[in-house]
Every structure is written in structure tokens, then in C-alpha cells.
Amino acid sequence: MNYSALPRLSPRLTLALVAAVYTGALLLYSQTMAFVWDEGFHLVAAQLIDNGRTPYIDFCFPQTPLNAYWNALWMHVFGQGWRPTHVAAALEVAGAIWLMADFILTRFPVSAWQLPCALATLSLIGFNDVLVTFGPIGQSYAIGVFLTVAAFRVMVLAVRKRSPAWALGAGLLGSAAAASTLLTAPVVPVLLGWMFFYNVAGKRGAKSVAFLAGCVVPFIPVLILFAKGPAQTLFNVMQYQAIFRRVKWAGATSHDVDVLLAWLESAPALLLGGLAIGGFLFLRRAEPWDRQSRGEFYLSGAIGAALVLYIATAHPTFQRYFIVAIPFCAGLAAIGLYAIGSRLAGPMRPAWPAGVVCALMLLSITKEVFDSRDSTRWSHYEEIAAKVKEVTPPGGLIYADEQVYFLLRSKPPSGMEFSYSHKLDLPPKQEALYHIVSESELNEQVKQGRFATVQSCKDERIEEMKLAELFPHQQDIRDCSVFWGPVKKAAKDEREAGSK
């Protein structure tokens, strides 16, 4: 490609146009195909907050709460639907991609490679299948990615500014990411340590104090919740994640091994990781970079490495957790592209190496989207929720997935806001305090006819509760089932009790 053929388009404008097209495509995906099972309890939490309920105190929500409050704000303004939250998440993902691609465009020291490497960075992040699948949804991945990249960009400026205000802003953004998802927790200490060693203007001490002050602000809601309910807050923020996530999961360790080796079967992960490693090795002896410029790319690599190592220790861990590390690995990957491409194609011919990377990533995500064309979507759950609403009598209790509660705008029965909590078996006082109902107790409640309607997409739970035997009516909708009507056993018990 001959870049001189586009004399009227500046590199930044070219990048902005490509980013705009990408943002439009991601917004379209977010409104049509984007759906993840675990999204349900996040949206229920935001809906309950918008309705005046308090996380931890009124319902179980084992996450840091900032993203739930953020989603609740969007629901309050635009209505309690999943679409506004998807729009927000898609824009956050697109914003993070723009910030990292723009960093490459403005900081890369070889001018001929600035735009090609920036476009390759956009592709390595934006066309990553994990980011596309789990980014534009109601979970906290998108806001975590955006805030960490924003904190990175502000910190790069903060070390060159005399005012501590920039350091305060970096601390605020990095801590806000952790207040949205603890997956990003290592970002804060990495930023602080890097600022200490690479600061070139202003006083390190004052900036460090400002940075730490900024870190406190996003956690003020957690401190307020702790004051209201210390036991509930500790359980949701710390104890559940550290102790209870792997309850009744015998294969958690083998699952973790599979996740940590999954990159071997992923072309985007191999390409991103290989280029990032090559970029790190090249950067150690790269002549075009001065110490400060090299340090900025080291910061990108340090954040990416810290996130990968930290997330790898989660038990159990999941491939999607590594989404927050993708932009920072891509920062080093741009250097790797230059190191390899300048040798294969020549130092002044960046077009085809960058074009190959962009093409490979585009083909990969196209295949992924095509392969998932028949996967579950929100439109499918809207059909299920409509059936549940149709068959449930006024005032009847519903036992359903969180997505159904959310779509029906129906407050879940206490303990039903977070379905994974059903796996726990805690003393009755703790279950009541944490708003948890165990599976065994739910099974008994179903048997006794507490619920007018039961909906489930899990065959093992349907069989365990013997729903087909208990309920007179059943309808299968896609991969889920809806059961309703008077519970047969409960009706029989009532007749026997009445005859005595």
C-alpha cells in the first residue's frame, strides 16, 4: 500500500476513521449477538440498585460494585433493558482500543511504522475473539479494560508533569477499574512503582500521595457498604472469591490447566503472545528508543505480565478473565511487529507486515462470529420470559434464571439474585444474612409447591428436582424448559391432610 496516495488524511484521522467503522460494527454486534450467561446476575444487580436496593445488604453480589452502579445509572436514564448497558460496554471497549492504538501512533519512534503499527494494534485488540465475545455486555470486563488503559495513558503523562493532579487522575482511574472488577487489581501497584522510577518532573513524594489519594475515592461505596454491613461486605468482596467459588467443583484444578493451555489452540492468542514476547526481547536493545520512551512500553508490558500472572492464580480461572491484559500485550506486540517486519520486508515497507496481522485477525473474528451464529442470544431469553409471564398467575413466585427476572423486571425471591450461591451450604443464620438459598433447600421448596413457575436451561437441575414429575405443564423453548401449574405432590398432600 502506498501511503502517499492519501495525502489529505493525517495518520490520526485515518486511525480515527478505522476506529469509527470498528465501533459501529461492535455496536451492531452488541445489539444483536452479544450474550453471556453470567451477564444475568450483573444486570439483576443493576436493576435492583435502580429500584432502590443495596448490594450486599439486600442481595448477594460477590463483585466490587462500581460496574453495577454504572449499569444502574444507564438503566435509570434509558430504561431497564439490556440494550443500554451493551451500548455503554461497546463504547468502553472501543474507547480502550482507541487509547492504546493512539498511544502507538503518537509514541512509536519510527515514523514510517506509526500508522501501520497503530492499525495492527487496533486489530490485535479489537478482533480478539475473547474481547468481542465478553466485551460489549453488562459484565465488568469492558469498564475494566477502558479504565486500566485510561490509567496507563494518564500515568505516561503524569511522570512528565510537575502537577500531582495527573498522578491523582491515574490513581483514580486505576482504582476505579479495581472497584469495577478485582481482575484489574495489580494495575495500581504497577503504576505506582513505575511512576517512582520513571518520574522526570515534580516531586515523587507529592505525586505518590496524590496517586494513593485518588485510589481511595472509587472504593468509598465499598467503605459505606462495609459500615452498613461489615460481614456481608467482607463475604461478597473477599470471602466468596477466596473460598467459595470452587465449592462443589471437583474438576476445578483440571479446568484451570485446560484454561492455561488454551492459548495453544487459539491463533489470535498465539499471534498476540508471540509478537509481544518478540517486542520485549527487541525493546531491551532497541536503539530508536530513549530511556523514557522505552519505559512507557515497559510499563505496558509490565501491566500485561502482572495481569496475566495474577489471573492465572485464580482458582478456578477462565479464559475470558485475561481480557483485561489484551491491550497491554498488544502494546508490546506492536514493537514485535516492527522488529520482525522491518527485517522481512525492510525498514521502510511496513504495509504488508501490518496488513498480514490485520487480515489474520479479521479472518479469525469473522470465523468466530459465523460459528456462533446459532448461539443463545437475548432475543431467545425474551421468548422464554414471555412464556414465563404468560403462564404465571398474578402474585405467583417464579424460580428462573437471572435473565428472566431481569427481563420481566420482577424482583427475585430473596436468595435467587445470584444462582451460583445455591451451591453453598452455610448455617441458616449466615444464609439469611448473605441472602443465600442452597440447592437442597430450593429442591424442597419446589417440591412443596412454593413456585408457580420454574424455568431452567440446565438438564441436570431439571432431573434433580424432578420437574417433569411435579408439574402438570411443560414447554421446551430452544435449550430451556418452562414448567408450571399446581405441583402434583403438593396437591396430593393437601388432599390427604384435608381428609384427616
Non-local CB neighbours of 246 within 8 Å, separated by 6+ positions: 252, 315, 316
Mean predicted confidence (pLDDT) in 102-116? 92
**pLDDT single digits (tens) 212-244:** 999 999 999 999 999 999 999 999 999 998 888
Non-local CB neighbours of 323 within 8 Å, separated by 6+ positions: 128, 130, 131, 134, 135, 141, 144, 145
Question: Tell me, what's the pLDDT at 495?
Answer: 41
Integer angstrom CA distances of residue 92 from 70, 98, 159, 176, 341:
12, 10, 25, 14, 31
Pairing of strands 453-456, 480-484: antiparallel
Residue 29: which of 21, 18, 38, 37 has the closest Cα?
A: 21
* Beta-strand runs (E) in 320-438: 398-399
**pLDDT single digits (tens) 316-354:** 888 899 999 999 999 999 999 999 988 887 777 888 899
Hunting for cell 475473539 — which residue is that?
129
Q: 175 near 216, Cβ under 8 Å?
A: yes
* Grid cell digits, residue 305: 505480565
What's the pTM value of the predicted model, to 2 decimals?
Answer: 0.92
Q: Give CA–CA dist 371/31, Å, rounded.
A: 18
**pLDDT single digits (tens) 63-107:** 999 999 999 999 999 999 999 999 999 999 999 999 999 999 999
Q: 26 near 94, Cβ under 8 Å?
A: yes
Question: Tell me, what's the pLDDT at 292?
Answer: 79
**pLDDT single digits (tens) 430-473:** 999 999 999 999 999 999 999 999 999 988 999 999 999 999 99
Which amino acid would we find at residue 424?
L
Confidence of residue 493 (pLDDT cuts 50, 70, 90): low
C-alpha triplet 27, 300, 138: angle, nearest 5° = 30
**pLDDT single digits (tens) 15-61:** 999 999 999 999 999 999 999 999 999 999 999 999 999 999 999 99
pLDDT at residue 3 tops 50? no
Q: 33 near 129, Cβ under 8 Å?
A: no
* Grid cell digits, residue 357: 496481522
**pLDDT single digits (tens) 163-201:** 999 999 999 999 999 999 999 999 999 999 999 889 888
Mutual angle of helices 326-344 and 111-126, in 10-degree steps? 130
pLDDT at residue 6 tops 80? no
Question: Tell me, what's the pLDDT at 287?
Answer: 65
